[in-house]
Amino acid sequence: HLNLARNILRVDAALALANTKTLLNIETLLMFDTFIGDKGVEALLKSESLSKLKTLRLT
């Protein structure tokens, strides 16, 4: 379970997150509150692990 509320997520962290194998739930503020940029967003959206999430909660 990953809660990103009020945390800063940089591109390298987004790429690592996209490659995780065990993530089931993500809670985060909207993407514009992070600093991952287009490269980070693209990596997350194309991530196999993101497609297998049980919960993705954006607030």
- 2-56 residue pLDDT tens: 666 656 677 787 788 778 877 777 766 555 556 777 887 788 778 887 777 777 6
Looking at the domain assignment, is residue 16 inside a domain? yes
List b or e across 20-40, with b for residues whose CB sees 16 or more CB atoms inside 10 angstroms: eeebeebebeeeeebebeeeb
CB 44 within 8 A of CB 9: no
Looking at the domain assignment, is residue 54 inside a domain? no
Looking at the domain assignment, is residue 57 inside a domain? no
- 24-33 residue pLDDT tens: 777 665 555 5
Looking at the domain assignment, is residue 19 inside a domain? yes
Does the global pTM surpass 0.85? no
Q: How many domains does the chain have?
A: 1
Looking at the domain assignment, is residue 37 inside a domain? yes
Which domain does 25 fall in, by range? 2-47
Looking at the domain assignment, is residue 38 inside a domain? yes
